[in-house]
Amino acid sequence: GDAETPGSVERRGRRGAEDGMSQAPGAQPSPPTVYHERQRLELCAVHALNNVLQQQLFSQEAADEICKRLAPDSRLNPHRSLLGTGNYDVNVIMAALQGLGLAAVWWDRRRPLSQLALPQVLGLILNLPSPVSLGLLSLPLRRRHWVALRQVDGVYYNLDSKLRAPEALGDEDGVRAFLAAALAQGLCEVLLVVTKEVEEKGSWLRTD
């Protein structure tokens, strides 16, 4: 993931009864709690993992440990940036998910998105090209940026760590439209985060 100004880890919490405040009769129900980490350094892969899992399970230290495990003998680790500020590759994400008993499945962009069985998918992690900026200059270089999509209480959210707050995408149709737009730009890759059982059965794919 590419660098961003230091942001805070942000948690949008419920308001109301959980805070010990009694809600007035007829008050609107509080919005769902959506966990969302903001971008820090080049840690978008760590943020995408935590955002898709909806809790802080990974840190830069944990990701660096995975890098060492994947390439124990290399002086310059191929799975992260040379500066040690992050920019982790897909192998780190896949190893992190495997450690939790989950799996990442590549989505074949040639398939129609109608074949994606979203109820079988825990969440999605997208890899997008992202322009590099130095101050106010936008450079013609492309870095890769990891973005999580996840459903919370029936609503899908774009949990991009560069957003100030989660962006609601709506229902299944909304997230398919978002994916279609991202894939249409090319250079976008989609990983499905699923349980091992769903991976083995292939039930993330609709065959009807």
* Spatial distance between the Cα atoms of 137 and 89, rounded to a whole number of angstroms: 26
Look at residue 84 in the predicted model and tell me its pLDDT.
Answer: 65
Among 75-84, 107-116, 165-174, 179-188, which is the least confidently predicted range? Answer: 75-84
Strands (E), 28-110: 34-37, 102-106
Angular region, 201: left φ>0, alpha ψ -120 to 50, beta rest: alpha
* Spatial distance between the Cα atoms of 126 and 121, rounded to a whole number of angstroms: 14
Q: Domain spans of the chain? A: 44-201
pTM: 0.79
29-46: b (≥16 Cβ within 10 Å) or e:
eeeeebbbbbbbbbbbbb
Catalytic residues: 44, 145, 160
Which residue's entry shows tokens 């769902």?
32
Contacts of 134 (CB under 8 A, 6+ apart): none
Look at residue 72 in the predicted model and tell me its pLDDT.
Answer: 84
Residue 24 reports pLDDT greater than 70: no
Look at residue 1 in the predicted model and tell me its pLDDT.
Answer: 60
pLDDT digits (tens, 9 = 90+) for 57-113: 888 888 888 888 988 888 788 888 776 667 888 889 999 999 999 999 999 999 999
Contacts of 100 (CB under 8 A, 6+ apart): 53, 57
SS3 160: coil
Among 8-17, 113-122, 131-140, 173-182, which is the least confidently predicted range? Answer: 8-17
**Looking at the domain that runs over 44-201, which CATH code has it been given?**
3.90.70.40
Look at residue 201 in the predicted model and tell me its pLDDT.
Answer: 95
Query: In 10 A of CB 192, how many CB atoms?
Result: 22
Helix (H) or strand (E) holding 52: helix 44-53
Look at residue 136 in the predicted model and tell me its pLDDT.
Answer: 59
> Virtual CA dihedral for 131, 137, 141, 144, nearest 10 degrees?
-30
Residue 189 exposure: Cα atoms within 13 Å on the Cβ side: 11
Residue scoring higher pLDDT (48 or 13) = 48
Residue 167 exposure: Cα atoms within 13 Å on the Cβ side: 15
